[in-house]
Amino acid sequence: MAVEVTWWGHATVTVADSGVRVLTDPLFTRRLAHLRRRRGALPPPAAARADAVLVSHLHADHLHPASLARLSPGTRVVVPRGAVAAVPGLRRVAAARGLLVTEVRPGDTVAVRAAREGHGAAEVTVRAVHAAHDGRRLPYGPHRVPALGYVVHGAAVTYFAGDTGLFDTMAEEVGACDVALLPVGGWGPFLGHGHLDARRAAEAAARLAPAGAVPVHYGTYWPIGLDAVRPHEFHSPGDEFARLAGRLAPGVAVHRLAHGESVRLAAAR
């Protein structure tokens, strides 16, 4: 058995495991406020096919109602507890599209079954874990609507970190995993508190010790008019993560994907 990971750009990833498709933080737009998509074509309509969608936190580049509106009716959308009250656009889209919204906090689990014909009773379990990130969508603060990561348990164990900084209990909370989807950058010249840059992501890989790691959350969106400001923060995080992980976590195979590219990974445990 294997898990297939497809990176669509930014934090948007499809994890296909045991006949179940899980989509993370869908962002299907060329422009978001002051950000524009500078690399990679927009994901095709097929990218919106999912049995469940995992939303890590409330920032607009992770919880994007217009992108959720592309989901099929009846799609399960897993969000941090409090998100429905905090984001009116989420409520409106869920009602209009018939999305099934499930709110979770760290430690909660959700069973996800394949909704498509031909997959029988295929199922994975999604477990929410803590993320060290200020995911507020004003006026709601991070203590009321915490940022999350998710661990998908199927034939393989895949950790989607969302947005997070390093925290002491990361390896303990995530547990043994086969694949880690780790943010290695951001969408601006300076990376704020509560994020992993390439070095911290390599340290996270060393702590988690997955068989494979895929760098995400870099090289897709950038503020309009700032192309010439610290451009290495846009272009280099993926390569820098691979270089540093080779030194700090030599047992972890890094798969640096192009936008829309997939990799199939065998479960190692």
pLDDT on residue 135: 78
pLDDT on residue 1: 63
Determine what percent of the chain is predicted with pLDDT higher than 70.
Answer: 95
pLDDT band at 269 (very low <50, low <70, confident <90, very high): low
pLDDT on residue 105: 96
| Average pLDDT of the residues of the chain | 94
SS3 sequence of the chain? CEEEEEEEECCEEEEEECCEEEEECCCCCCEECCEEECCCCCCCHHHHCCCEEECCCCCCCCCCHHHHCCCCCCCEEEEECCHHHHCHHHHHHHHHHCCEEEEECCCCEEEEECCCCCCCCCEEEEEEEECECCCCECCECCCCCCCEEEEEECCCEEEECCCCECCCCHHHHHCCCCEEEEECCCCCCCCCCCCCCHHHHHHHHHHHCCCEEEEECCCCEEECCCCCCCCHHHHCHHHHHHHHHHHHCCCCEECCCCCCCEEEEECCC
- Alpha carbon separation from 209 to 51, 206, 268 (Å, rounded): 28, 5, 11
Q: What is the pLDDT of residues 80-137, one digit of tens each?
A: 999 999 999 999 999 999 999 999 999 999 999 997 655 556 899 999 999 999 877 7
Burial class (CB in 10 A: 0-12, 13-18, 19+), 96: exposed
Give the whole-angstrom CA distance, residue 78 versus residue 235.
31
pLDDT on residue 2: 87
Residue 139, preceding peptide bond in cis (omega within 30° of 0)? yes
Instruction: Give per-residue burial for 170-181: e unless 16+ CB within 10 Å, then b.
Output: beebbeebbbbb
Give the whole-angstrom CA distance, residue 163 versus residue 148.
8
| pLDDT (mean) for 228-242 | 95
268 vs 41, residue with greater confidence: 41
Q: What is the pLDDT of residues 32-81, one digit of tens each?
A: 999 999 999 999 999 999 999 999 999 999 999 999 999 999 999 999 99
Q: Is the pLDDT of residue 204 over 70?
A: yes
pLDDT on residue 118: 55
pLDDT on residue 122: 86
**Of the candidates 143, 242, 145, the residue with the CA atom closest to the CA atom of residue 201:** 242
pLDDT on residue 31: 97
pLDDT on residue 76: 97
pLDDT on residue 121: 62
pLDDT on residue 193: 80
Q: Is the pLDDT of residue 216 over 70?
A: yes
pLDDT band at 266 (very low <50, low <70, confident <90, very high): confident
Q: Is the pLDDT of residue 164 over 70?
A: yes
pLDDT on residue 147: 95
**Of the candidates 16, 40, 19, 18, the residue with the CA atom closest to the CA atom of residue 27:** 40
pLDDT on residue 116: 66
